[in-house]
Amino acid sequence: MIHLRRFQYADLTALHRIDQICFPPGIAYSKAELRYYLQHATSFTVIAETDSQTIAGFCIGQLFLHEGKRLGHIITIDVLPEARRQRVGSLLLRAVEKHFRKKEVESVRLEVAVDNEQAQRFYQPMGYTRIGVIPGYYGGKLDAIVMQKPLTGDA
């Protein structure tokens, strides 16, 4: 059974370890970068924990304003390999989207590496569509696909 909870500073080391497992060098965050996003005033982080209080994954979302509109940005969603295909990612993403809806966010964006087909297949049925590409987004070498999901009128 998976339980969701908010981030606590004591989680930082475990979340950094999970991020290093989930993403290759150049995409995984340094501990300082991860700390920045986790502690940013506009960030919201959800932790997925097992009954034994083992962290199975996490998702960081960040709220921002652009041309007077409230928008959301998924910074990262990390699920340990052994917890994948058990709806952990879906629970995390929906929890962050729910938080964004409460904050009257109009849409959510995220970036995914062009070679991360598994993640692209995960986001599409969740309502995210491809809206562009950012050349060299990851380390100046790997392109990112930008995906977006409208939240207005979405239940």
pLDDT cut 90: percent of the chain above it: 86
Give the whole-angstrom CA distance, residue 36 versus residue 74. 14
Q: 42, 151, 40, 59: which is closest to 104 by C-alpha?
A: 151
Structural domain spans, the chain:
2-150
* The two three-digit tokens of residue 51, written as one number: 């009954």
Fold for 2-150, please state it: Aminopeptidase (3.40.630)
Average pLDDT across the chain, whole number: 93
SS (H, E, C) 58-117: EEEEEEEEECCEEEEEEEEEEECHHHCCCCHHHHHHHHHHHHHHHCCCCEEEEEEECCCH
**Closest C-alpha to 107, from 75, 79, 147:** 147
- For the stretch 83-94, pLDDT in tens is 988 899 999 999
- pLDDT for res 153: 62
Least confident of 15-24, 91-100, 145-154: 145-154
* pLDDT tens digits, 35-54: 999 999 999 999 999 989 89
Query: pLDDT-based confidence at 140, cuts 50/70/90?
Result: confident
Helix H or strand E segment including 37: helix 31-39
Give residue-wise pLDDT tens across range 92-117. Answer: 999 999 999 999 999 999 999 999 99
Tokens standing for residue 5: 């909870």
